[in-house]
Structure 1
Amino acid sequence: MDVHERVRGCLLGGAVGDALGAPIEFQSLREIRRDHGLDGISGYVTNWRGKSALITDDTQMTLFTVEGLLRARAAGLLDVPGSGAVTAVREAYLRWLDTQDHHEPPPADRPHRTGALREEGWLYSRRAPGNACLSGLHRHFPGPSPLGEPGPVNPDSKGCGTVMRSAPFGLVTTEAREAFELAAACAQITHGHPTGYLAAGAFAAIVARLMAGETLATAVHQALSLLAGYPAHEETTAALRAALALAAGGEHTPEGVESLG
């Protein structure tokens, strides 16, 4: 499998998986079994509006992450220290914000309103985006804080809105630390709690090492090693260790997965 196939598989697999799970995103295991039987879902099901296989907010933001990183690479910003790449990604997220605030592409009357992705009409739909993602992009962002310290925007927010969009950072480099630090810095655009943005960094590092051909277990252990070097890593480290323990425990059950939180 070449690098292009890995990139395509990561992005397409993430989009398909998220569309599969979106209708049950806010349900407990008991509620899923009540509505879909003991085996849960194994194919697309309709949501409360009677629609299925819809692009999710996670996939929307992932696509704009890709766009921001592509622009950063084209400008040479991924090869130099500083926050230029973070700025490029934030501008891409502002284009995503337009898709949540408008029903069609707004006039190109602001500096960030450029490019082809914003012209895709199917992106202009609200799909239950997280409050921190929305509010964070309405606030001034002076740049990321040192990793391990509270970020400048939504310093108490540590929801999944960072991890869900961060796979692309692991697709632009196979160096785990580079992927980790850029993903964590860009996560601070909306989520300032260290757990929120360090989790994004860990996920990106795992993806980067998988792109390099490592096994999943090895990639996770490398992410754990990186995490240990930053203050306030304990919650993220504990979550990854719990997942490793569950995976190594033999019998895998829905109850076990639910226990991870």
Structure 2
Amino acid sequence: MQQTESIRARGCLRGLACGDALGRPVEFKSASQIEHKHETVTEMLANGSHGQPAGTITDDTELATCIAESLVANDGFDPDDVASRFVDWLDTDPFDVGLMTRDAISKLREGMDPDEAGRAVWESRPEGSNAGNGSVMRCAPYAIAFRHDEIQLERVSRRSSAITHADPRCQWGCVVLNRTIAGLIRGDDHALRASQDAPDELLGALQRVNDVLYDTQDPDLLENDLATSGYVVDTLQTAFYYGLGAETAEDAIIHAVNRGGDTDTVGAIAGAVAGARGDTGPLPDRWLSVIDEGPRIDSLADSLLDLDPAP
């Protein structure tokens, strides 16, 4: 079982990094713009959005790595340590950082408590710009570390999200994503594990995914409507549709990225889900070979599996 879980845990973090890096060069482009310039993006591209070399990861993978390293160093969730690592990361002047994430980490740098920083930023934002993707994109390491403790997994997923993204849709989005990934790593069925405590808007979007994937409804009823904005509900709906429904992890990432929009994050989450399934085949070497962080990611996945986090 441990060997199988290792394959799935590595697949999860590899899928996250590959989706992030494949989507980075076309971030903010529409599907039609991507098709016009590239037909279909299937290879790691250089330049493009942010002007980085091929295979370059963004804040999605970098912040997930911060969380993974914190979990390993502390044998569990320490919000103060996670916050400190976020501050150190922002001090490196990353080329890609979301607005809410930057504002919340800036408050952490000023000494605000991790339980307060994200709420302060959230309360300052109007509806429509207060429920971004910045916490769901980075939360997968918790699913590996707490895969056998659903109560703890829910608690740390919500509390970690709230460090930068306190909106209930973001907090519960992390819970649903991590519960689903944890089940996949354990080898359970491929169900999308929503929580009835989640906001109705999130539950409704995820129910549509379940209806199409598992109740034999026409996929065109959903696929034509999938959005890839920076809104957490849109992102999770699209990422789950491809991450759970594609035959291979490679296909999941390619389909997600080529829809345009927030391509690195939608690709990263779809890749994390598909990579954790265990039945989607290995990610292509032509992708993994150009991602410099690959060995580090594999080592962190193995270390997360070995944790016995304290309550």
Common topology (TM > 0.5): yes
Distance 1:32 1:133, change over 3 A: same
Tell me what 1:213 maps to. Answer: 187
Tell me what 2:153 maps to. Answer: 179
Work out whether residues 163 and 200 of structure 1, in 8 Å CA contact, stay in contact via their aligned partners in 2: yes
* Secondary structure, aligned partner of 1:132: helix
Rounded to whole Å, the distance in 1 between the matches of 2:225 and 2:212 is 7
Is 1:90 paired with 2:86?
no
Q: Can you give the 5+ residue segments of structure 2 that lack an aligned partner in the other structure? A: 229-233, 236-311
Distance 1:18 1:182, change over 3 A: same
What's the TM-score, normalizing by structure 1? 0.72
TM-superposition CA deviations, 1:1-32 (whole Å, max 9, x none)? 43332222211121012101112221222212
* Secondary structure, aligned partner of 2:122: coil
> Which one-letter code corresponds to 2:209 in the other structure?
A
Is 1:247 paired with 2:213?
yes
Work out whether residues 173 and 179 of structure 1, in 8 Å CA contact, stay in contact via their aligned partners in 2: yes
Task: Give the C-alpha shift of residue 185 in structure 1.
Answer: 0.5
Highest Rg: 1 or 2? 1
Distance 1:47 1:215, change over 3 A: farther
Tell me what 1:128 maps to. Answer: 96
Tell me what 1:68 maps to. Answer: 70
Task: Give the C-alpha shift of residue 54 in structure 1.
Answer: 0.8
Is 1:160 paired with 2:133?
yes
> Which one-letter code corresponds to 2:53 in the other structure?
K
* Secondary structure, aligned partner of 2:165: coil
Is 1:139 paired with 2:103?
no
Task: Return the match for 1:203 from 177, 180, 201.
Answer: 177
- If asked which structure has higher relative contact order (CA below 8 Å, sep 6+), I would say 2
Task: Give the C-alpha shift of residue 250 in structure 1.
Answer: 4.5
Task: Give the C-alpha shift of residue 152 in structure 1.
Answer: 4.3
Distance 1:245 1:28, change over 3 A: farther
Distance 1:235 1:254, change over 3 A: closer
Work out whether residues 187 and 200 of structure 1, in 8 Å CA contact, stay in contact via their aligned partners in 2: yes
Rounded to whole Å, the distance in 2 between the matches of 1:243 and 1:25 is 24
Instruction: Answer 1 or 2: which has greater helix percent.
Output: 2
Number of aligned residues: 213
Aligned-residue CA RMSD (Å): 2.5
Tell me what 2:41 maps to. Answer: 41
What's the TM-score, normalizing by structure 2? 0.61
> Which one-letter code corresponds to 2:89 in the other structure?
W
* Secondary structure, aligned partner of 2:119: coil
> Which one-letter code corresponds to 2:122 in the other structure?
N
> Which one-letter code corresponds to 2:190 in the other structure?
L
TM-superposition CA deviations, 1:152-191 (whole Å, max 9, x none)? 4423421011100000010102233322220110111111
Task: Return the match for 1:29 from 5, 28, 31.
Answer: 31
Task: Return the match for 1:234 from 195, 200, 208.
Answer: 200
Rounded to whole Å, the distance in 2 between the matches of 1:242 and 1:24 is 27
Is 1:151 paired with 2:125?
no
Task: Give the C-alpha shift of residue 247 in structure 1.
Answer: 3.1
Task: Give the C-alpha shift of residue 58 in structure 1.
Answer: 0.5
> Which one-letter code corresponds to 2:188 in the other structure?
E
TM-superposition CA deviations, 1:94-141 (whole Å, max 9, x none)? 2222222xxxxxxxxxxxxxxxxxxxxxxxxx2321011111011154
Distance 1:2 1:160, change over 3 A: same
Q: Can you give the 5+ residue segments of structure 1 that lack an aligned partner in the other structure? A: 79-83, 101-125
> Which one-letter code corresponds to 1:242 in the other structure?
R
Distance 1:14 1:95, change over 3 A: same
Distance 1:43 1:88, change over 3 A: same
> Which one-letter code corresponds to 2:213 in the other structure?
A
Task: Return the match for 1:3 from 2, 5, 10.
Answer: 5
Rounded to whole Å, the distance in 2 between the matches of 1:229 and 1:257 is 24
Work out whether residues 83 and 114 of structure 2, in 8 Å CA contact, stay in contact via their aligned partners in 1: no
